[in-house]
Amino acid sequence: MMYHIVKYSGQFGFIKPWTAVRDSETFSQQFLTPSIVEGIEKKLFPELLQEQGIKKIRRHRLNYQGIDIQQEKTWAKGGISLYRDKGIWKSNLGILNRGVMLNPVLFLAFETGEDAQKAVKQSICLCRNEDLLFPEYVEQISGTDFDEIEGFELHFTDDTTGFKVGYNRFDNASEMYGELKVYGLPVRQ
């Protein structure tokens, strides 16, 4: 099988694990879940917004240079509140430490050159809209050559062969499963 791949890169990337709710320290997940891939696909191909499932992205591969700890200011779910405690004014402000991927690179594989050409004209983000990845090029390669690209790839499975990776926001919060494959050295020098 031949793929038309688009290479995307950026300075930062954060994929919040589904198990992280209000953890004070959270490291970026290193793989894309089915709903993340579907969300990226719907951004690239808005004509698919009303359709369910992944239609055009056949495979993906993610690698990065390292993890950087960044602090993020957060507020409670209800918003800002000020209160007085023993004569001192306090708020519900919190500081979280996030382990963010440095210089992530994402390869998306498409079956058709037309889909790849449409994708290469657009930026994407992994999860947070401030972590933009920009397209670099389109290249046609074989499936065997795609397997030589270093990085993480989650092969989507069911509960009999994979581990739980979250709940699918595009499919009534159904459980998602996958088998994580590591190709080469996914953390670049």
Task: Note whether residue 83 is domain-resident.
Answer: no
Task: Note whether residue 90 is domain-resident.
Answer: no
Q: Reduced to 3 DSSP states, what percent helix, strand and coil does the chain have, rounded to the nearest 5?
A: 15, 50, 40
pLDDT in tens, the chain (189 residues): 999 999 999 999 999 898 877 677 888 999 999 999 999 999 999 999 999 999 999 999 999 999 999 998 776 666 666 677 777 776 667 788 989 999 999 999 999 999 999 999 999 999 888 899 999 999 999 999 999 999 999 999 999 999 999 999 999 999 999 999 999 999 998
Task: Note whether residue 149 is domain-resident.
Answer: yes
Task: Note whether residue 52 is domain-resident.
Answer: yes
Query: Given this model, what pLDDT does residue 9 score?
Result: 98
Query: Given this model, what pLDDT does residue 95 score?
Result: 82
Query: Given this model, what pLDDT does residue 82 score?
Result: 67
Task: Note whether residue 15 is domain-resident.
Answer: yes
> Using CA atoms, how far apart are residues 98 and 95, in angstroms rounded to an integer?
10
Chain-centroid distance, C-alpha 80: 29
Task: Note whether residue 9 is domain-resident.
Answer: yes
Residue 179 belongs to a domain with what CATH number? 3.30.70
> Using CA atoms, how far apart are residues 87 and 82, in angstroms rounded to an integer?
12
Task: Note whether residue 37 is domain-resident.
Answer: yes
Q: Which domain holds residue 6?
A: 2-69+102-183
> Using CA atoms, how far apart are residues 51 and 56, in angstroms rounded to an integer?
12
| Cα–Cα nearest to 3, from 145, 120, 185 | 145
> Using CA atoms, how far apart are residues 6 and 49, in angstroms rounded to an integer?
21
CB 107 within 8 A of CB 119: no
CB 30 within 8 A of CB 105: no
Task: Note whether residue 145 is domain-resident.
Answer: yes
Q: What's the number of domains the chain is made of?
A: 1
pTM: 0.89
Could you give the residue ranges of the DSSP H alpha helices within 28-167? 34-44, 113-119, 143-146
